[in-house]
């Protein structure tokens, strides 16, 4: 279909070696017809999130070249970082943007997965809309045990990869799938306590927590969350994936973290967006904080940035972070 557009957001397990990151990004950019939208480098997480878009054929080729370059330059046996991961290219989602359905994107995810396993000898797990079984849909379930437990996990019948069968000690595994747009969003706390961040995450995430052997559901639907400490910021964070921002937006997540933190005698100081955000998500937050006042698009965005504290850790430019402002 003419003007078909998908986005790809591979997460690479390298956030400290700039030469490696630049080589991976260069490999992706070498594909004609791709638009590189954003590169988000996290030193403490030791992770880089790259966002690019284009026609499906070009995006899949770009993703393959990036995964290939990462497999040549990243040795998972040496990798340490705060973020859960199973491989050099930890996860590689494809996202429908224009004139293509999620079902059609699943086909491209499987094409990419088969090629990665066949040509690079990297085992591939399919997730989200591409998952081949219900227990494999959730990325957190696939990641459980992380790289260190991957070899043993792959020996279990229920956790054999969808493509490839041999453990790759250097590259680990890659999780590939198709999903709607996801917002990676972190809320900053005025504490260094990972335990407090864990407690807040457990209270707000949809899966909740187990108390006295009983699963207690969390406050927010469509939210995955963990707590961690980011040394470069000197702060603990509640790190979240908002899997459906029409159900739970950034403002909902921020206010829930704020209330939970205040109940523990601490406060939130701001927040951090990883990668890009849909315009609607920022406008929804702006309208929430406008409290009924009718504003222009620019004014709503300014309100969202201010009340969410998106400028706390680094300057936030909507022109550089809103996908609609970047896409060709």
Please list the active-site residues.
Answer: 83
Maximum C-alpha span of the chain: 59
Residue 38's Cβ-side half-sphere holds a number of Cα atoms within 13 Å equal to 24
Strand pairing category for 268-274 and 183-189: antiparallel
What is the chain's percent helix, strand, coil content, to nearest 5?
A: 40, 25, 35
Q: How far apart are CA 265 and CA 258, in angstroms?
A: 11
Six token digits for residue 186:
């972190």
- Residue 16: phi and psi, rounded to 5, are -125, -35
Is 267 strand, coil or helix? coil
Place of tokens 């550089």: 320
Phi-psi region of 145 (alpha: psi -120 to 50; beta: other; left: phi over 0): left
Rounded distance between C-alpha atoms, residue 20 and residue 183, angstroms: 25
Phi, psi of 173 (to 5 degrees): -130, 165
Measured between alpha carbons, how far is 94 from 179 in angstroms, rounded to an integer? Answer: 6
* Length reported for the chain: 328
Q: Could you tell me which residues are beta bridge partners of residue 127?
A: 177
Helix (H, G, I), strand (E, B) or coil at 137: coil
Looking only at the bridges linking them, the beta strands covering 89-98 and 174-178 are: parallel
């Amino acid at each position: 279909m003419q003007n078909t557009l998908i986005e790809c957001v591979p997460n690479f397990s390298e956030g400290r070696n700039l030469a490696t990151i630049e080589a991976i990004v260069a490999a992706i950019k070498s594909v004609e017809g791709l638009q590189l939208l954003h590169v988000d480098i996290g030193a403490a997480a030791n992770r880089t999130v790259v966002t690019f878009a284009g026609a499906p054929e070009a995006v899949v080729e770009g993703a393959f070249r990036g995964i290939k370059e990462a497999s040549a330059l990243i040795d998972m046996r040496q990798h340490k970082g705060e973020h859960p991961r199973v491989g050099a290219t930890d996860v590689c989602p494809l996202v429908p943007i224009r004139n293509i359905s999620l079902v059609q994107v699943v086909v491209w995810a499987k094409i990419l997965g088969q090629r990665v396993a066949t040509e690079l000898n990297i085992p591939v797990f399919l997730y989200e809309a591409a998952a081949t079984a219900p227990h494999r849909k959730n990325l957190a379930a696939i990641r459980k045990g992380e790289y260190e437990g991957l070899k043993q996990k792959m020996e279990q019948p229920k956790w054999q990869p969808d493509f490839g069968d041999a453990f790759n000690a250097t590259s680990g595994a890659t999780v590939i799938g198709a999903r709607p747009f996801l917002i990676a969003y972190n809320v900053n706390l005025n504490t260094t306590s990972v335990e407090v961040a864990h407690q807040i995450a457990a209270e707000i995430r949809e899966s909740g927590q187990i108390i006295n052997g009983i699963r207690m559901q969390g406050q927010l639907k469509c939210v995955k969350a963990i707590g961690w400490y980011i040394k470069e910021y000197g702060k603990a964070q509640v790190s979240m994936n908002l899997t459906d921002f029409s159900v739970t937006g950034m403002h909902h997540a921020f206010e829930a973290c704020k209330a939970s933190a205040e109940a523990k005698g601490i406060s939130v100081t701001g927040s951090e967006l990883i990668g890009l955000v849909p315009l609607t998500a920022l406008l929804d937050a702006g309208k929430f904080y406008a409290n009924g006042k009718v504003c222009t698009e620019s004014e709503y965005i300014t309100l969202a940035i201010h009340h969410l504290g998106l400028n706390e850790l680094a300057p936030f430019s909507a022109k550089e972070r809103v996908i609609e402002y970047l896409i060709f």
